Amino acid sequence: MEKKILIDHYKDTAVQIGNILDAQEIAIACLKHMKTYLRPGLSREEIHEECARYMTKLGSEGWWIHNDPALILFGKHTAYSGREDPALLFEGMKVEENDLITIDVAPMIKNGWGDMARSFVMEKGKIIDWETSENEEIVEGMKLEHELHKLFIDSVNKDMTFSDLHETINSFLLSRGYRNLDYHGNFGHTIENDPGDRVTIDKDTHINIVAYDKPITFEPHICKMDGTLGIKYENMYAYIDGKMRRIP
């Protein structure tokens, strides 16, 4: 979406859309960089430090969620979602030759947040496009992620609440034999000036999405009911001219 359209849309609100767009560009660039950086033998700490280094180099002034540049998941913990300290959870673990690595980054410029996540597929020591993976669980899960994002875009309308959206997404997910891994049970959140003000896509938030009029992330973290892999894919969106549109 064109930057001017977004700035014009939010010019009379408290949303710092210019800073959000700049921070989101850093998030996108970081994940592109990490796709080339990831290799077998890396620890969570090394991946974490590289994310912080690269985003700081690009101008991030800090990290908007828990003062943490990135959530890193891989190996047997890709389905993790909870309160346990990831640094302890991953102690001694290294990325393997065949692995799934999820990175969710949180750069910040002033009060503007970037927020994006991707699950990277490593096979035979190299990051590959998920479509070419030999792991059927990964291919099926990633296809479903893209279906969920399309459903999200197509479903939101001027009469829908966050709880309505949650029901639509969750019902579809369950019908496909998958579960939502988020320990709060949500699928994303609004972009605010203060993390404590976030409105989440959950079953109890009966607020009209379009009337609230804030940028929003959609970040389903999903796992097959009988599976072991947690797959995540996150983009930021805004409802403009009658449709959810990806930022940027």
3-state secondary structure of 56: helix
Say what the pLDDT of residue 205 is.
Answer: 98
149-187 CB burial, b ≥16 within 10 A, e <16: bebbbeebeeebbbbbbbebbbebbeebebbbbbeeebb
Domain residues for the domain of 47 are 3-247
Residues ≥6 apart with Cβ < 8 Å to 99: 40, 74, 75, 122
Say what the pLDDT of residue 118 is.
Answer: 98
Which sign, positive or negative, has the C-alpha torsion 36, 42, 48, 50?
negative
Residues ≥6 apart with Cβ < 8 Å to 159: 208
Q: Among all chains, which residue has been given the structure tokens 């669980």?
A: 137
User: pLDDT tens digits, residue range 139-155?
Assistant: 999 999 999 999 999 99
pTM of the model as a whole = 0.96
Say what the pLDDT of residue 133 is.
Answer: 98
3-state secondary structure of 117: strand
Say what the pLDDT of residue 13 is.
Answer: 87
Q: Among all chains, which residue has been given the structure tokens 């599976």?
A: 227
CATH number of the domain bearing residue 34: 3.90.230.10
Say what the pLDDT of residue 22 is.
Answer: 97
Q: How far apart are CA 145 and CA 65, in angstroms?
A: 23
Which stretches of the chain drop beneath a pLDDT of 70?
Answer: none
Question: What is the tally of structural domains in the chain?
Answer: 1
Say what the pLDDT of residue 14 is.
Answer: 83
Say what the pLDDT of residue 83 is.
Answer: 76
Q: How far apart are CA 72 and CA 34, in angstroms?
A: 11
Say what the pLDDT of residue 26 is.
Answer: 98
CA-closest candidate to residue 234, choices 83, 113, 127: 113
